[in-house]
A and B are shown apart, each in its own frame.
Chain A
Amino acid sequence: MHVDKTELAREFINLVPQARALKLEITEIHDGIAVIRMPYDPQLVGDPDTGVIHGGAVSTLMDTCGGAATMSHPSNPGGTATISLRIDYLRAATPGQAIVARAECHHVTRSVAFVRATAHDDDPDNPVATATGTFTVEGAT
């Protein structure tokens, strides 16, 4: 069943204009966990002296991934919106490499979903950023 759900999520994310502009790609989504990849793009550079991707693009990746993780939670929320998001930037992402975010929706109440996320480049043992977020839980459909 995972295959169908991932395919559905891929189609869904393609309908989100900003996700498409960043060429975001869902590689995994099930049971409150989502993994999304953002390819390196010179348009997203935040520091022209180094070629490092802007934190803002990482925010969008983390936010999208957190929302996707919430939507895939077994409690089956009907919709979600971000309440708050905090990102810690551990190190600069290596220029030229994709950034992959993995978000886990680890707790859900009637109204709120709690999410943790990490992002890494080609070196998965050395994350570039971690995030925690809270998301709304809309009525299940």
Chain B
Amino acid sequence: MNRRPPEPVQVVKQRRDAALTALAGRVPYIRFLNISFDRRGDELTGVLNYDDKLIGNPQLPALHGGVTAAFLEVTAIITLSWGLLWEDVESGALTLEALEAGNLPRLPKTIDFTVDYLRSGLPRDAYARAHVTRSGRRYASVRAEAWQDNHDRPIAQAHAHFLMPRKEG
């Protein structure tokens, strides 16, 4: 038996958080909408941090439906990419230095995206999670949902297909 001792928790966390920051932080549109990600282990929750410029109906007021759709698409893409990255982050194949230099695989490309609006989005933070139903070599199928105060009362749900980035080599 020649097993490596487990890495200290802060080393593991630092590498995972660096991977997530590198992944989401370099997309300008994610900054434009001010979307951040909470991470618990490998589980991600997107957070759409409220701002007045996200409003689409000033009378109600309500979030713009396009923003809600965009939030779901961003969460789907990052969750899908995170799944691709996870093994290399855990094995240490992706080093902290490589991550900080932005050495990341290309992002999946959206083929189609369908959103159902269930309730109007209130002028406050929203949350979203995506579930990768299938992540194949060429295509992936993802669904996502967004909610605000109550997870049981989603404001929108989406499903989408993505073209996967080609693996190098």
Of residues 92 through 129 on chain B, the ones whose CB sits less than 8 Å from some CB of chain A are 106-107, 109-117, 120
How long is the Cα–Cα vector from A37 to B120 in the complex, in angstroms?
25
Of residues 35 through 54 on chain A, the ones whose CB sits less than 8 Å from some CB of chain B are 42-49, 53-54
Interface string of A82-95 (1 = CB under 8 A from B): 11111111001000
Q: A85 is contacted by which of B26, B27, B65, B106 (Cβ under 8 Å)?
A: B65
The verdict on B55 contacting chain A, using a C-beta distance below 8 Å, is: yes
Stretch at the interface among B36-44, B69-77, B83-91, B139-147: B69-77
**Beta-carbon contact of A17 and B55 below 8 Å:** yes
**Beta-carbon contact of B115 and A59 below 8 Å:** yes
Interface string of B14-56 (1 = CB under 8 A from A): 0000000000001111011100000000000000000011111
The verdict on A70 contacting chain B, using a C-beta distance below 8 Å, is: no
**Beta-carbon contact of B66 and A54 below 8 Å:** no
**Beta-carbon contact of A18 and B74 below 8 Å:** no
| Least CB distance, A105 to chain B, in whole angstroms | 16
The verdict on B67 contacting chain A, using a C-beta distance below 8 Å, is: yes
| Least CB distance, A36 to chain B, in whole angstroms | 11
**Beta-carbon contact of A16 and B113 below 8 Å:** no
**Beta-carbon contact of B114 and A85 below 8 Å:** yes
**Beta-carbon contact of A85 and B69 below 8 Å:** yes
Q: A81 is contacted by which of B27, B111, B115, B117 (Cβ under 8 Å)?
A: B117
| Size range of the chain B interface in the assembly | 35 or more
Instruction: Answer whether A81 and B65 are a contact pair too, CB < 8 Å, given A21-B53, A44-B32, A56-B33.
Output: yes
**Beta-carbon contact of B27 and A45 below 8 Å:** yes
How long is the Cα–Cα vector from A87 to B112 in the complex, in angstroms?
6
Stretch at the interface among A26-34, A60-68, A115-123: A60-68
How long is the Cα–Cα vector from A51 to B120 in the complex, in angstroms?
32
**Beta-carbon contact of B113 and A59 below 8 Å:** yes
The verdict on A3 contacting chain B, using a C-beta distance below 8 Å, is: no
| Least CB distance, B51 to chain A, in whole angstroms | 9
The verdict on B131 contacting chain A, using a C-beta distance below 8 Å, is: no
Instruction: Answer whether A18 and B64 are a contact pair too, CB < 8 Å, given A63-B69, A84-B115, A86-B112.
Output: yes
- Which residues on the B side are within 8 Å of A53 (C-beta)? 29
What are the 7 closest A-B residue pairs judged by CB atoms, nearest first?
A: A56-B70, A60-B66, A54-B29, A18-B64, A63-B66, A59-B69, A86-B114
Chain A residues at the B interface, C-beta cutoff of 8 Å: 15-21, 42-49, 53-57, 59-64, 67, 81-89, 92
Q: List 29 A-B contacts (CB under 8 A).
A: A16-B56, A17-B52, A17-B58, A17-B64, A18-B67, A20-B53, A21-B53, A45-B27, A46-B107, A56-B33, A56-B67, A56-B74, A57-B70, A59-B113, A59-B115, A60-B65, A60-B66, A62-B66, A63-B65, A67-B65, A82-B65, A82-B117, A83-B117, A85-B69, A85-B115, A86-B113, A87-B112, A88-B112, A89-B110
